[in-house]
Structure 1
Amino acid sequence: MKKLLSMFIFVIAFTVLVAGCSRAGSNESASNESDSNEASENGQVTLSFFSSMSNEGEKKAMESVVAKFEEENPNIKIDLNLPGGGYEDMLRVKMAANDMPDLFDTHGWSQLRYGEYVADQKDMDWVKNLDPALDQILKDETGKVYAFPINQAKDGISYNVNVLEEYGIKPPTTLDEFVAALETVKEKSNGEVTPLWIPGGDNWTIAQIFDELATPLVITDAENSHGDQLVDGSFDWTLYTPLAEKMKEIQDKGLINEDVLTAKLQQATELIAQDKIAFTFVAGSLGPDATELNPDAKIGTMPVPAIHEGDKQSWIGGERHTIALWKDTKHPEEAKRFIDFMAQPENIKIMAEGTSAPDALTNVEAENYFSEYYKEYEDIKVQPYFDRVYLPSGMWDVMATTGQELLAGSLTPEQLSKKMEEEYNRLRSQ
């Protein structure tokens, strides 16, 4: 009997103890939640921000503006992530998990890839100053505004002004002139200067070349324009083969760097500052970064050369770096405050100078390293990125890998086009 009574008392005591601990844990949890809510209400928040900026000058510019914002807004911290070439893979994982950063860069895919994840910014003050050239890229037919543009893209070919002047070369306007210029550099430099330098160790840079040159090959020339066929799926992919043939010809003539498959993007600045590169498709802050290393260096930029006789050159572009607002962010007001801060003219100027790209707002007159060249070619039309208009999502990676395999000798130009066709049809069907 005593044993039974002792056990009964023990059970009651244990139950009270557990209940007490449970209530204590519940109170602690409630207390933490209260503290968190209070912190949020007081603006003590951290915003995650992912950007695709990869060049050192771009990174420094963004980091400086973020630091400036945090100084003026001490209750908001920006967790800035700049993963470089790994950006797209990281964002794909986050999209699949529906766990996006509070703020992120749509890098040319504001509607087609990221549209369902972004909040509408049409009611924000900066929208009234958006460059009309970006309307069709950043707005849809309902008026939704998908992202704030930090700058806009005018991609072409970067070139070493000193090298071209030394060898009497004028910036080429056609692809044939471009190849002739590469041959002149090889001959007159006795192989000391790489005519066309490609950092193929980062294979997306190979895709960049194919993407830019595809536009004059099959879009801009009236007699060789196949945009409708690319959109409806009836495109004849043998028409793409001449581009692969030209790239292979350039390689076979020894006009590109021998380490094309291993060279890395970060090498570009030092090499061009030392006058070891004549032409490259690397853009961004290449110019100011090189001049910082060597004050005598001068880097120019030019539109993509025409391919067909009678056609004109083209800039390739649209949105460059942007800030989209995740529709499910827990801190929309703080995120909008950061975007408003980025849209201030003095900060737009910092980013234009740091990225060497034109600003995207009409209330800003921002000069950057390449401004004189943008003015020189101001009559050249800007064409949208080829893959973003004419190819299904996922083809950028295909362009990168097939181009890499072509330069490695494991694909012929004809096989490259066939593989592009197969992947194009597969991705269209998904």
Structure 2
Amino acid sequence: MTRTIRLALLASTFMAGAAAAQDVTLTVESWRNDDLQIWQETIIPAFEAANPGIKINFAPTAPAEYNAVLNSKLDAGSAGDLITCRPFDASLELFNKGQLADLTDLESMANFSDVAKSAWQTDDGSATFCVPMASVIHGFLYNKAAFEELGLEPPKTVDEFYAVLDKIKEDGTYIPMAMGTPDQWEAATMGYQNIGPTYWKGEEGRKALIDGSQKLTDEGWVEPFRQLAKWKDYLGDGFEAQTYPDSQNLFTLGRAAIYPAGSWEIGVFEPQIAGAFEMGAFAPPIVAEGDTCYISDHTDIGIGLNAASQNADAARTFLEWVGSDEFASLYANALPGFFSLNSNPVEMENAVAQEFVSWRENCEPTIRSTYQILSRGTPNLENETWNASANVINGTETPEAAAERLQEGLASWYEPQQN
């Protein structure tokens, strides 16, 4: 009897311990607050079905607030288990502070090229601290019905771009472009970084800024601001108070003809406009026929492990899955416009996403100019570029003054720019 009781107690203890070990909820920190439904309805159920006992809580923060909120949570010890990683310097800083764990030994890291991993590695490549998830491509979305109604074709050159905007404005049925400036980040991300590579010539200019052979006051860096200053006339009344969700709504409700975009909007917009109109996309305009086309094909998003997580084993299970072919296909097609960084190709089912991807065949790719190395100091070039882009569009700062301010800020701490 005693032996039976002892065995029963051991079995009970084991079962309770196993249940406790499986009773894990992992919280994901992210700035992607517009794809919450896709995580809840597609991504999370797929993982949980294969991993009973591990639950996922996707808890996003507004994009403009994410960095500050995440840093505060990490410092306070209240951040989630899984940290959605911005590329390059912002995440490298977290790793250097000991707040992101080293994930170099994950088996699924073998599924990614050195280029894909470079956005989430130390400068010497010795440690990888986030699993690569996807890149995004910048360009412009447009309302095909509006273009057909007004007899317009997607523009290829800068002159054609402004001719299209002028016709839309003259007609008056639609706001030519939907973008506001109070959140600031979109003025830089969907404005300056969208059209800028055309003028600073992509990787050539970006690398020259890093090695100090070009400055932000050079023509290739000032001209994109001059272009943004022209956008003011096409953004509609009250754009200065128009938030990012406001701009999204103007486009999806059919009130605006063009939306300066990143490909990440595709999966958000299509369910909202279904049956109302068809959406198309065009690449950042070249200056003149025959010029090289440049696109920002940006290593956008990865996911890492909070070094202070109490659920590290379960979190690593999730991260191994994120690095799998299954996740790559699921994510790229559940979130069309987020292009997998997995070395195994993913067949795109979405026509608009395929249009964005097709630009890779003819355009030179680059990443956002502020993300690698150049935002490690104070003032932070990325955040300052947000502010400068918004100011230029608002007309409160000239393109030349904005460029001069950014250059002075960068040169104040970055030695290659002090010559």
TM-score class, shorter-chain normalisation, is 0.7 to 0.9
Q: What is the deviation of 1:42?
A: 1.9
The answer on 1:352 being equivalent to 2:332 is: yes
For structure 1, which segment, 85-94 or 291-300, has the greater mean C-alpha deviation from structure 2 after superposition? Answer: 291-300
Q: Check 1:248–1:268 CA distance in 2 against 1; reply closer, same or farther (3 A cut).
A: closer
**Aligned to 2:229, which of 244, 248, 251?**
248
Q: Secondary structure at the match of 1:171?
A: coil
Residue 38 of structure 2: which of 49, 52, 61 is its match?
A: 61
Aligned pair partner of 2:398 in 412, 417, 426 = 412
Match of 1:216 among 166, 180, 198: 198
Supply the AA of the counterpart residue of 1:80: F
Between the aligned partners of 1:347 and 1:221, the Cα distance in structure 2 is 30
Counterpart pick for 1:260 among 234, 239, 242: 239
Contact 2:82 2:303 in 1 (8 A): yes
Q: CA, structure 1 residues 283+191, in 2 after alignment: closer, same or farther (shift >3 Å)?
A: same
Are positions 1:136 and 2:122 aligned together?
Answer: no
Q: 1:97 to 1:406 in 2, by over 3 A?
A: same
Which residue of structure 2 aligns with residue 282 of structure 1?
A: 261
Structure showing greater Rg: 1
Q: Which amino acid aligns with 1:213?
A: I
Letter of the structure 2 residue corresponding to residue 82 of structure 1? P
Q: Work out which of the residue numbers 168, 176, 179 in structure 2 matches 1:198.
A: 179
> Where do residues 30-179 of structure 1 align in structure 2 (5 Å cutoff)?
42-55=21-34, 58-64=35-41, 65-85=43-63, 86-96=65-75, 100-109=79-88, 112-116=92-96, 117-130=99-112, 133-139=115-121, 141-179=124-162
Contact 2:229/2:395 (<8 A) preserved: no
1:227–1:390: 8 Å Cα contact kept in structure 2? no
**Helix, strand or coil at the partner of 1:66:** helix
Asked whether the 8 Å contact 2:295–2:365 carries over to 1, the reply is yes
State the alpha-carbon separation in 2 of the partners of residues 185 and 82 from structure 1.
36
Cα displacement string for residues 250-274 of structure 1 (whole angstroms, at most 9, x for unaligned residues): 32xx222222211122234443234
Task: Give the TM-score taking structure 1 as reference length.
Answer: 0.78
| Percent identity between the two aligned chains | 17
Worse-matched range after superposition: 228-237 or 392-401:
228-237
Contact 1:348/1:366 (<8 A) preserved: no
Report the count of equivalent residues: 387
RMSD, aligned α-carbons: 3.2
Q: Is the 8 A contact 1:290 1:297 kept in 2?
A: no
Higher-strand-fraction structure: 2
When the two structures are superposed, what TM-score results if normalisation uses the length of structure 2?
A: 0.80
Post-superposition offset of 1:295: 1.7
In the alignment, structure 1 segments of 5+ residues that lack a partner are 1-33
Aligned: 1:392 with 2:370: no
Give 1:203 shift. Answer: 1.6
Contact 1:231 1:391 in 2 (8 A): no
Question: Does the 8 Å CA contact 1:306/1:312 hold for their aligned counterparts?
Answer: yes
* Residues 347-356 or 300-309, more deviating: 300-309
SS at match of 1:202: coil
Whole-Å separation in 1 of the counterparts to 2:298 and 2:388: 25
Q: Match of 2:4? A: none
Using a 3 Å threshold, how does the CA distance of structure 1 residues 226 and 404 change in structure 2: closer, same or farther?
A: closer
